[in-house]
């Protein structure tokens, strides 16, 4: 009974439709991942610059980190927010319920 009431309520509409739409429009997850990459890149660069005599394997590791960042940035820039739709469209309700 409680679950049925929750599904029919406005809270469920907020959870199911509005929150994903805001997260998609603001691109919260990709931006968070870009911040995480920035931190990883900074720590990797700092680590590499503090090495006394870096070898080829360490230089290759830094190269992979930088290359992955370039690829990730390209995906981030070319990505678009997705359109979240509600499966229970308001057109199924009477016109008086759609207005208010």
Give me the helices (H) in the chain, please.
Answer: 2-8, 10-13, 19-26, 28-49, 56-78, 95-99
- Which pLDDT belongs to residue 21? 82
- Which pLDDT belongs to residue 46? 97
Domain ranges of the chain: 2-82
Which pTM was predicted? 0.63
Decide: 32 and 7 in contact? Cβ < 8 Å: no
8, two tokens: 């029919």
- Which pLDDT belongs to residue 29? 86
- Which pLDDT belongs to residue 88? 56
Return the residue matching tokens 């992979």: 64
Give per-10-residue mean pLDDT for the chain (100 aa): 67 78 83 92 96 96 92 81 62 52
């Amino acid at each position: 009974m409680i679950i049925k009431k929750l599904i029919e309520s406005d809270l469920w509409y907020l959870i199911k439709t509005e929150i994903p739409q805001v997260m998609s429009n603001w691109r919260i997850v990709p931006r968070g991942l870009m911040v995480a990459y920035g931190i990883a890149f900074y720590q990797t660069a700092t680590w590499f610059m503090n090495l006394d005599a870096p070898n080829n394997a360490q230089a290759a590791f830094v190269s992979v980190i930088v290359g992955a960042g370039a690829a990730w940035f390209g995906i981030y820039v070319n990505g678009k927010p997705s359109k979240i739709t509600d499966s229970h469209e308001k057109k199924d309700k009477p016109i008086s319920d759609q207005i208010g």
